[in-house]
Chain A
Amino acid sequence: MERRAALFEYLLRLGDSCLVLGHRVSEWCGHAPELEEDIALANVALDLTGQADMLLGYAARIEGKGRDADALAFLRDAWDFRNLLLCERANGDFAHTIVRQFLFDAWQAELYAALARSTDAGLAGIAAKGVKEAQYHLRHSGEWVVRLGDGTDESHARAQAALDEFWPFTGEMFETDAVATELIAAGIAPDMTPVEAAWMRTVDDVLAQATLARPKSGWMQTGGSKGRHGEELGHLLATMQFLPRAYPGAKW
């Protein structure tokens, strides 16, 4: 695969994951169980949307076809999205939202730390900035996983159920296909083996404190990076993209 095309594809994966999860988390605005948590989730959503803006803006410049971050975010359909399937899953209860966030934050913090050493200066700059935000998010979601897991019987059961449901979606985080292989060879993307090992150490450490059991790693879901998504993404995009599609070029 041509390197420029591979980098475009890779940036879409990173940017779409931020955008879609950022939108999901923003759905909690005004609905979180307490005021401080409402503020926290809104802040996390804002950071992820900001990262998506940078990553998709960079993707558009690499593509060089006159599109910008908004065009990529609002004028593509579900099959053109490259986000992790984990990110598009509906919020469910608060435990589902927190466990999904924790699995993602632990991955993103490790990946950004590695990407900050990328040979691509544009990507390294975004990652060096994003890693601080990701680590801060991880602390927040990690503390909640411990609080829920090591809380009441009810919160423990809900956290474990969320973990069991989302575990098969974690394999996708560490896939290495032709796109990744091309970029790894050029030192643009990191080898995912040490990233996965570090992620697993964080997960095991937090799950132990949370008295939660790590599910067995068996069959894993896949398809997000190839544009094969669940129906939930279409509903999310219908909400997120309505305004710029109904009122093209709208400004305020």
Chain B
Amino acid sequence: MVNAAATLDDPRVVLAWEALAGVMDPEVPVLSVVDLGIVRAVRADASGIAIDLTPTYTGCPATAAIRLDVENAIEAAGLGRPRIALVNAPAWTTDWIGPDAREKLRAYGIAPPAGKASELKAALFAEDPVLACPRCGSTDTRLTGRFGSTACKSLHACNACAEPFEHFKCI
């Protein structure tokens, strides 16, 4: 995780990370903002806590809600109102979602990002990755829509158990 080295030993930074681990994504409530990788830096100085957040998708309507939840959580932890900066670079990628968080997604019924975005083929109509059904585990699944209920998901169906499911798009 990104961290300014000079403030690593400040206990407020540790407390802030703990508080952030309890801030859940409003659309995918099994993942925290830390699991998602959208907290890019936490710093502490004389005027309080400063946090860098990066949006997942530019139009994600949850960004404003997440920002407010982060501010409230830091305040509730007794660390005061934090200063929030929205940073675009480097661009958010699902590669920042770790193995534990991926398993949480699967257990929740959402197929986690298939593979690493940094290794995706650039070809326009490159073959889609094989997805395992998050319910029965079968890899006999099909894409039903490239866009889903939120910007971060696509729609799929399982040919084995016939259940529809969502996939956390790999970007």
Residues of A within 8 A of B (CB): 36, 39-40, 42-44, 46-51, 53-54, 121, 124-126, 128-130, 132-133, 136, 138-140, 142-143, 202, 205-206
- A sample of 5 cross-chain residue pairs with beta-carbon separation below 8 angstroms, ordered by A number, consists of A42-B147, A46-B151, A47-B58, A128-B90, A133-B58
Given known contacts A47-B57, A50-B57, A139-B124, is B89 in contact with A121 (CB within 8 Å)?
Answer: yes
**Residue on A with the closest CB to B92?**
A129
Name the B residues within 8 Å of A142 (CB-CB): 124-125
| Chain A residues in 8 Å Cβ range of B84 | none
Cβ–Cβ contact A46 & B145, under 8 A:
no
Q: Is B91 an interface residue when CB atoms closer than 8 A count as contact?
A: yes
Chain A residues with Cβ below 8 Å from B136 are: none
A-B contacts at CB below 8 angstroms, number: 78
Please tell me which one of the listed residues B92, B125, B145 contacts residue A139 in the complex, with CB atoms under 8 A apart.
Answer: B125
Q: Which residues of B contact A132 (CB under 8 A)?
A: 91, 117, 171
Additional 4 contacts, C-beta under 8 A, given A39-B145, A139-B124? A39-B147, A43-B148, A128-B88, A132-B91
Chain B residues with CB under 8 Å of A47's CB are 57-59, 151
Collect the chain A residues with CB atoms within 8 Å of residue B91's CB.
125, 128-129, 132
A54 and B149 CA atoms in complex are apart in Å by: 23
Q: How far is the CA of A43 from the CA of B166 in the complex (A)?
A: 15
Name, among A43, A136, A205, the residue most crowded by chain B CB atoms within 10 Å (CB to CB). A43
Inside 8 A of B90's CB, which chain A residues have their CB? 128
Instruction: Give bound CA distance, A51 to B117, whole Å.
Output: 21
What residue in chain A is nearest B60 (Cβ atoms)? A50
Contact A128 B171, beta carbon cutoff 8 Å: no
A128 to B60, CA, bound (A): 16
Find the residue from B57, B61, B90, B117 having the highest chain A CB count within 10 A. B57
Point out the residues of chain B lying under 8 angstroms from A46, CB to CB.
57, 59-61, 151
Contact across chains for A143 and B59 when beta carbons are under 8 A apart: no
Q: B87 on the interface (CB 8 Å rule)?
A: yes
Interface set of B (CB-CB < 8 Å, partner A): 55, 57-61, 87-92, 117, 124-125, 144-149, 151, 155, 169, 171
Given contacts A46-B59, A125-B87, A129-B88, contact A136 B146 (CB under 8 A): yes
Determine the chain B residues whose CB is within 8 A of the CB of A136 once the complex forms: 146, 169, 171
Q: How far is the CA of A126 from the CA of B60 in the complex (A)?
A: 14
Interface contact B146-A139, CB-CB below 8 Å: yes
For A58, the closest partner residue in chain B by CB is: B88
Main secondary structure of the interface of B (DSSP, over half): loop
- Would you call A44 and B147 a contact (CB within 8 A)? yes
Q: Shortest Cβ distance from A167 into chain B, in angstroms?
A: 20
> With a CB–CB cut-off of 8 A, which chain B residues contact A40?
145-147
A70 smallest CB distance to B (angstroms): 14
Residues from chain B with Cβ under 8 Å of A128 in the complex: 88-91
Q: B107: shortest Cβ distance to chain A, in Å?
A: 25
CA distance A43 to B90 in the complex (A): 23
Q: How far is the CB of A56 from chain B (nearest CB, A)?
A: 12
A residues in contact with B92, CB < 8 Å: 129
* Residues of the B chain whose Cβ atoms lie less than 8 Å from the Cβ of A48: 59
Chain A contacts of B61 at CB under 8 A?
A: 46
Cα A42 to Cα B145 with chains together (Å): 13
Given A124-B89, A142-B124, A51-B58 contact (CB < 8 Å) = yes
B89, B147, B155: residue with the most chain A Cβ atoms closer than 10 Å: B147
State whether A36 touches B155 (Cβ < 8 A): yes
A135 CB to nearest B CB, Å = 8
In contact, A36 and B125 (Cβ under 8 angstroms):
no
Are A43 and B88 in touch, CB under 8 angstroms?
no
Pick from A125, A140, A206: contact of B147, CB under 8 Å:
A140
CA distance A142 to B144 in the complex (A): 16
